């Protein structure tokens, strides 16, 4: 078997054959011309190899820079966590809710990932807040609230400085804007507010109102959704939010709370998925009659729904 030949070696061999042939036909003057061609070829080949090497080095450095940037963000989040554990738990919860709401609302996988990252980082601007505000158990002053209202800008500024995080920064900057224009920091209104920022706003507000480690006395899921429905400044994603919450309760073995959340979802918007999920929750709390009603309501919306038909067959209806 012949040893492998590199493309450059093959090209050099062919060039040598060509030189020998031209010398035989034309004479000694061809040697000088071919020498110039050969030198030029070798130079261009060297430059090509050098550019490939530089491209590989640039790619390596870009990956190192991206890794360093993520490391900086992680370190900042970890430091914030050590100062205020509520913020870390809250950010993780908001990220989880936001991604699931985006999924239910029909956003792309890329947008789901984008809103998840933005929600994880949405409060990173609180890095500027002193401990007396972060851990405050007394009423805050007007000056304190002015400082708190700067955290979307500060967070967006930090995140925007990282390569490729521009879209994330835009969402962070807008997550406290309101549809009526009375939010902050820019006073955006209506469709000027990015949709993913509005999703984070819903998830953020809901978690603050219902979490036990929040800075305010927690309220029930029912009370929270009533408050959200009155809050015109949020967004149209309330039904998706409570459909998600109901399914999370179902998976967690808490069917009674799932029933409550899913009923609220249906008050906002009637969907097959909400009726079917509510029927599943009702079956778990042993209310078969009410479950049958929800299945029929689902089939009234979509008579071919495989989930509703399968549940109907399961309970023998």
99 and 208 together in one domain:
yes
As a 3-state breakdown, the chain gives helix, strand, coil percent values, each rounded to 5, of 75, 0, 25
Residue 296 near residue 304 (C-beta atoms within 8 A): no
- Can you read off the two tokens belonging to residue 3? 């040893």
215 and 251 together in one domain:
no
190 and 75 together in one domain:
yes
Distance CA(262)–CA(217), nearest Å, equals 23
Q: Is residue 58, in this structure, part of any structural domain at all?
A: no
Distance CA(171)–CA(313), nearest Å, equals 45
Distance CA(153)–CA(174), nearest Å, equals 9
Q: Is residue 211, in this structure, part of any structural domain at all?
A: yes
Q: Is residue 174, in this structure, part of any structural domain at all?
A: yes
Distance CA(253)–CA(256), nearest Å, equals 9
CATH number at residue 145: 1.10.3210.10
Q: Is residue 52, in this structure, part of any structural domain at all?
A: no
Q: Is residue 288, in this structure, part of any structural domain at all?
A: yes
160 and 22 together in one domain:
no
The vertex-34 CA angle with 33 and 39, nearest 5°, equals: 105
The pLDDT of residue 78: 67
What one-character DSSP code corresponds to residue 127?
G
Its domain, for residue 272, covers 237-317
Residue 153 near residue 185 (C-beta atoms within 8 A): yes
The pLDDT of residue 249: 75
72 and 179 together in one domain:
yes
The pLDDT of residue 72: 63
Residues 6+ apart with CB under 8 A from 261: 221, 225, 242, 243, 245, 246, 249
Q: Is residue 35, in this structure, part of any structural domain at all?
A: yes
Q: Is residue 274, in this structure, part of any structural domain at all?
A: yes
Q: How many residues does the chain have?
A: 317
Q: At what angle do helices 29-83 and 7-25 cross, to 10 degrees?
A: 160
| Count of other CB atoms within 10 angstroms of residue 148 | 19
Query: Whose structure tokens read 């030949």?
Result: 5
229 and 106 together in one domain:
yes
Q: What is the mean pLDDT of each run of 10 residues along the chain (317 residues)?
A: 55 63 58 63 67 66 56 65 73 88 83 91 85 73 86 90 86 88 86 88 86 71 70 60 74 81 74 87 88 90 90 82
Per-position b or e across 292-308, b if 16+ CB within 10 A of its CB: bebbebbbeebeebebb
The pLDDT of residue 24: 59
Query: In total, how many domains does the chain have?
Result: 3
Distance CA(198)–CA(171), nearest Å, equals 9
85 and 205 together in one domain:
yes
232 and 258 together in one domain:
no
173 and 262 together in one domain:
no
The pLDDT of residue 118: 92
Q: Among 212, 236, 260, identify where a domain stops.
A: 236
78 and 194 together in one domain:
yes
255 and 226 together in one domain:
no
Q: At what angle do helices 195-210 and 85-104 cross, to 10 degrees?
A: 130
Q: Is residue 297, in this structure, part of any structural domain at all?
A: yes
- Three-state DSSP at 164 gives coil
Distance CA(279)–CA(265), nearest Å, equals 13
212 and 250 together in one domain:
no
């Amino acid at each position: 078997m012949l040893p492998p030949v590199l493309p450059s070696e093959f090209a050099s061999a062919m060039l040598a054959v060509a030189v020998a042939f031209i010398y035989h036909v034309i004479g000694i003057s061809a040697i000088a011309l071919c020498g110039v061609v050969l030198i030029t070829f070798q130079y261009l080949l060297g430059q090509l190899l050098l550019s490939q090497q530089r491209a590989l080095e640039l790619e390596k450095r870009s990956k190192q820079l991206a890794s360093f940037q993520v490391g900086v963000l992680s370190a900042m989040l970890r430091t914030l966590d050590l100062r205020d554990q509520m913020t870390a738990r809250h950010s993780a919860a908001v990220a989880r809710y936001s991604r699931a709401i985006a999924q239910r609302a029909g956003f792309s996988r890329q947008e789901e990932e984008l809103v998840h990252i933005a929600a994880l980082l949405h409060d990173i601007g609180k890095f500027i807040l002193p401990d007396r505000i972060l851990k405050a158990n007394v009423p805050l002053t007007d000056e304190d609230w002015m400082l708190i209202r700067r955290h979307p800008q500060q967070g967006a500024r930090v995140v925007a400085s990282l390569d490729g995080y521009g879209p994330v920064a835009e969402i962070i900057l807008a997550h406290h804007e309101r549809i009526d224009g009375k939010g902050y920091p820019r006073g955006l209104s209506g469709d000027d507010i990015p949709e993913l920022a509005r999703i984070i706003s819903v998830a953020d507000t809901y978690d603050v109102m219902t979490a036990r480690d929040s800075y305010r006395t927690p309220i029930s899921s029912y009370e929270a959704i009533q408050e959200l429905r009155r809050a015109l400044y949020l967004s149209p994603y309330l039904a998706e939010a409570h459909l998600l919450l109901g399914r999370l309760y179902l998976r967690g073995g808490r069917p009674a709370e799932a029933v409550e959340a899913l009923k609220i979802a249906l008050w906002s918007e009637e969907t097959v998925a909400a009726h079917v999920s509510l029927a599943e929750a009702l079956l778990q709390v042993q209310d078969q009659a009410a479950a049958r009603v929800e299945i029929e309501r689902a089939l009234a919306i979509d008579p071919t729904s495989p989930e509703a038909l399968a549940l109907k067959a399961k309970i023998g209806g």
